[in-house]
Chains A and B, each alone.
Chain A
Amino acid sequence: MTIRKPVAAQRARPFTQWLVGLISSEYLVFGLTLLLVALLAPFTPGLVSIANLLNIAGYLLPLFIVAIGVTLVMITGGIDLSVTSVIALTSVVGAKLISADGSATPTVVGLVAMLALGAGLGAVNGGIITCLRLPAFIVTLASMMFLSGFAVWITQSKNIYNLPASFLALGKQLSIALGLTITLALCVQVVLQRTVYGRWLYAVGQNPTAAYISGVPVRAVTFAAYVVSGFCAALASVMLSARLETGSPVLGREILLDIIGATVVGGTSLFGGKGKIAWTFFGVLFLTVLDNALNLLNLSQFAITIAKGTVILLAAVLDATRHRLGRQNA
């Protein structure tokens, strides 16, 4: 999206023009994040310290990875509510495999199994949605319930410990997680922007019928989006499990709304056809920094919750304003 200066604004005062430009920019959410940091930094000791930034990064990366997959699904006009359950199930299955208390298979095998399982679960979702043509919301809602119940059942509520050091290293070394995430994000963004698959993905989200008639393999493209989403959830699960040194059947249970909220705040449309990995990153960053800063401010829990809601709402209002401006300028 480029910034088109409306004729009306050119005549207006430079400040107004600047403001309009800022609001219509795709970096708006990022700008808001910086503003937030700038405003809160004087009051919150350690907000901008290296340690805290690393801390934020450690928490943010798995969220961002899940959100990447969700973004792809949302570009096709679908939604994936099952990601958190995929995180939980891959976590316990992987941990069972590699744990000294379990079958103690080599870490690499466990990792591959986790990722394959994640992709496989995504494939099941995608398969049901595309072949049986059921609404994504209800399919992934049902699989969210099922997989979560299944994860708790196979572990009989018990967490799995004693993971090998080689696995835990993935969680300790932020650089590994960072490298993985950046690679993944760049790959996905490049695929979206520069490959046939990316173009197809947007086309499917914008108008599935027109895309189908134009020879786009709509089902395969949609299916692939869910597979990637499952894979991303599994990758996040690896990072979370390693970071927390546990295979847990309730891992990630609470973060679903955060993930979808972050993606939507970033600017990806719930109705499909629109979205970018960079936007999603800004969205995740915004929510995480907000959460972190409010915590460092030592607000009580209810104040944090209220503040979070308010800021999300304000970001959304700005976003809506920006769209109206964009439409007027077109």
Chain B
Amino acid sequence: MKTIRHAILASFSILCLVGCSKPDSTGNAPNGARKITVGVAFETLQTEYWVAGFEAIKTELSKLDIAMVEAVADSDASRQLQQVKGFITRGVDGIILVPKDAKTCIPMIRAANEAQIPIVLFNRPADKTDAISTAIVADNAKLTQETVAYMVDQARKIGSKHKAVVVLGDLGDINAIGRRDGFEAAIKGNENIIEVVSRVPSEWNQEKAQAGVANALQANPDIDFIFTSSDFLFPSITSALKAVGRYKKIGEKGHVILGGFDGDATAYQMLVDGYLDATGVQDVYFEAKSAVQALIDMREGKKLPQLIIDPGFVIHQGNLKESSPRMWGANIKKKG
């Protein structure tokens, strides 16, 4: 009978799901020696930067023989709150959190405080609050401003007035907004050199970025300055540039000054090949190390500052050699 087959199929597959996922070492080792477990909650894993951060934290933790449980919130703050509370329920010893934004994480921190579990925010800070946490942060706006300032310097050297395009991220994403603000701040006062002719909202979508840049190039074929709010959009931008024959090395005639943010593998390759002028790099290793260290310190009862700043750095043709070991994208690239 068909019905029964369906029912059996259903139960079977649920069993399979359970079977496949072996109960992992969440901590309660049988012989007293309790292994420390840390819950790592990411907002999303949909860009390479977050994956790199995730891997770096994993490496740090395993170095110290700490077990890890993970959760990804798929950009939904409410789900993230549920996941953090889930960690608390299962009794983790510490939480590393990439919050969706500065404010929605406060109830999560509070929940951790109440359960007396130390919590560290990774890469994004919390807003002012009475809840206690430590955040390891890179200042998106400041680092972007420095990167764009470098690009403006290059433009100034060439001399003529430059027409610029900025590829914006999702307008609902605080990081994207921080980078946009950094860009605008760097341009301010340099209007005699840089004229922003197009602001392309990419919604973090490669197709929209590609179409937007292509359209901007159609409207203003003499564009020679492009900044993208994230390096992962570089393939889209180079594709649009190649289509009109404008993807040129630095120094070649018709070169478009390019800048980005993140410091991923694509950006590294472009730097090495001499296409990319500069990109703002968040020091993922520093952040991971500091986060794990902060957790350990907090467990030991040390008082920590609210913010630990990852200074980050701008990597450009001038400092490529000495800075590349600290660039996470470079290491991924070298690893293959």
Contacts and interface: CB of A to CB of B under 8 A. Distances in A.
Touch test A–B (CB under 8 Å): yes
Given A39-B14, A159-B102, A248-B77, A298 B70 contact: yes
B90 A59 contact: no
B152 to A, nearest CB: 24
Contacts of A44: 23
B104 A311 contact: no
A123 B93 CA distance: 49
Nearest to A88: B172
B88 A152 contact: no
B164 interface: no
Given A245-B107, A253-B172, A298 B26 contact: yes
Nearest to B168: A157
Query: Which interface class (under 10, 10 to 19, 20 to 34, 35 or more) fits A?
Result: 35 or more
Nearest to B105: A244
A243 B78 contact: yes
A248 B177 contact: no
Interface string B13-42: 111011011011010100000000000000
A58 B104 contact: no
Interface stretch (B4-12, B274-282, B287-295, B305-313): B4-12
A296 B90 contact: yes
Contacts of B45: 301
Nearest to A307: B17
B75 interface: yes
A35 B14 contact: yes
B81 A243 contact: yes
B15 A39 contact: yes
A250 B77 CA distance: 10
B1 interface: yes
A237 B71 CA distance: 24
A96 to B, nearest CB: 14
Interface in B92-118: 101-104, 106-107
A158 B160 CA distance: 36
Contacts of A298: 21, 24, 26, 69-70
Contact of A248 (B10, B24, B83, B104): B104
A159 B101 contact: yes
B104 A23 contact: no
B81 A59 contact: yes
Nearest to B19: A43
Interface string A217-250: 0000000000000000000000010011110111
Closest 4 CB pairs of A and B: A250-B172, A59-B82, A246-B103, A55-B85
